[in-house]
Structure 1
């Protein structure tokens, strides 16, 4: 197993791409999947993803076969060994494995366990004792991989000539020496079986540090209602929202104090993508649905607890969507504590969560008013 530095692959190469259990991670991987098929038109591309994103994976035109590496099945390890053996019988041994989540222990192990000819992204040595490094094959791409702060505003400067941006979708492509439209996201969709509200919102995230105050959401929702606009709340089923996405009581309170339409758990990912094709606008904190909306061309207001320099609650330089229909709402409060802790802190480290409390509902309302005006003009 060698580090991939764009060596030639055999005809009909067998490729493996490792994702994660997060929706946003899958969405930003789609340029890589497309780019691999453009670079190796005759390849067989296997994708190791999750139960969460399997709907998108199943209908992706660039994936030839997929498996839920992230699953709660009891027999996952036995089944994994069996299906990998079957895939190697079908398409031969793996020529290249690409790890798109270096922080995942199972990705590290499985990327190595496949015994591919080449690997890029994080992997372990063949004895599983330590991280694999480029060694004598180290080059500019490997230097990028070893850089510990991809969110840095200076990343492009540090790796001049290697990357054009520090958008995570581009970085994934660069690791595989793929040239494509790094910002073009592609997702399948299905029409939802309910009338789609004028405005959709998503209020939860896996890190509480990304949450916007409930009173601000209430003010934005009340404004929409005053304009005669229906507003729908999207997300997973309520139990999952509270368990995984820090919903707490915020969603329940919003439903009790506003005319919000509860759509949680009522859509598959395909139907959620379809809803974004129909709604007039979407408002969201930094979470998976934000990236789906970006991919679908939906007019979107992204609530990041970051100031105009990018300092704040989220790794915004790395993860913010680059599409022109996604509008970033910046905070007026500067704080660098999350970045200093490599965003490993779940909750805010400052009293009263100022990065989010200094992002006013009026700012969101002004954005929304402007977006809705554009939507109406297009419909005339």
Structure 2
């Protein structure tokens, strides 16, 4: 069975879509996936053993996105089933233009107009469950267990227990705890763990701040990988960690996919919808605020108290409570 899957754009969302993909692979026979998505999501998910093709969607860059979508649909051809995890008119149009009969996506005006199956999804539940409901809408299965996150990139094996730090969050500064506090936490555990600082190309400066703070704290057993890894290398390194400290971010979900013990720091986002899914060793550190969750990229009130009030000691105690 040939299934087209349009992946979410963001790394974390793509990883949260993996249980839905596993359900599709389980409940349909002889599955062959074609994945279509952003460069980031394709790089993370293209290693699935049932992935036949993995295509980066560059239609947004075309002079005419409409015409580029038409050409891409004709190149893809027809499938037995097509599923979109994006709420985007061009994604709905693409599925329609492939002439696939059974097409599933979250209900929206364009999906209802163009596609065969458009379930109304309750957005207050975890995003993993939302994606699973979209994927399973055309199956005859009424009850199913949503599995854990799953990535197929091989984990690196470190010689010594390793603590990963991820201070970045692509969505915006409001989701980011502070470099000096990450460094304080890492310093506390530096006798037990080697330290890896993670970050994307736009987070190199922030990672350098952590590094500078570690030097001031006389910590030397660290490696700064910010801006120096591919997506697959990022996943492999996170997978090899013994402990992970992170903001609400894509790497947080990568850690969950490998069951890495994790303390996640949440500020302005809806933790019940985007927390680590089925990670047995996971803790959230957050403060309930009148203004949260605001879901803003930057603090609209300019005080950022959802993050400023979280101390390094709180995170250290959360790590201790993991009993690892």
Using the size of structure 2 for normalisation, the TM-score is: 0.82
Aligned counterpart, 1:309? none
1:323-338 equivalence runs, <5 A: 323-338=278-293
SS in 1 for 2:9: coil
Q: 1:326 to 1:357 in 2, by over 3 A?
A: farther
Aligned counterpart, 1:267? 229
CA contact (8 A) 1:202 1:284 kept: yes
| TM-superposed deviation, 1:76 | 10
Residue 66 in structure 1 maps to residue 58 in structure 2? no
Aligned pair count?
Answer: 310
1:42-191 equivalence runs, <5 A: 42-70=30-58, 84-88=73-77, 93-102=78-87, 104-122=88-106, 131-133=110-112, 142-144=119-121, 150-151=123-124, 166-177=125-136, 180-191=144-155
1:1-380 equivalence runs, <5 A: 12=1, 14-70=2-58, 84-88=73-77, 93-102=78-87, 104-122=88-106, 131-133=110-112, 142-144=119-121, 150-151=123-124, 166-177=125-136, 180-192=144-156, 198-205=162-169, 206-225=171-190, 227-236=191-200, 240-242=201-203, 249-258=205-214, 259=219, 260-305=222-267, 313-339=268-294, 343=295, 345-371=296-322, 373-374=323-324
CA RMSD of aligned residues (A): 3.2
| TM-superposed deviation, 1:194 | 7.6
Distance 2:260 2:146 in 1: 18
CA contact (8 A) 1:304 1:328 kept: no
Distance 2:110 2:135 in 1: 18
Gaps of 5+ in 1: 1-11, 125-129, 152-165, 306-312, 375-380
User: 1:144-168, CA deviations, whole angstroms, 9 ceiling, x for partnerless residues?
Assistant: 3xx5xx13xxxxxxxxxxxxxx221
Distance 1:314 1:48 in 2: 27
User: 1:313-361, CA deviations, whole angstroms, 9 ceiling, x for partnerless residues?
Assistant: 112121112324342333234234544xxx2x21012332111122221
Distance 2:31 2:39 in 1: 24
| TM-superposed deviation, 1:174 | 1.2
Distance 2:37 2:210 in 1: 33
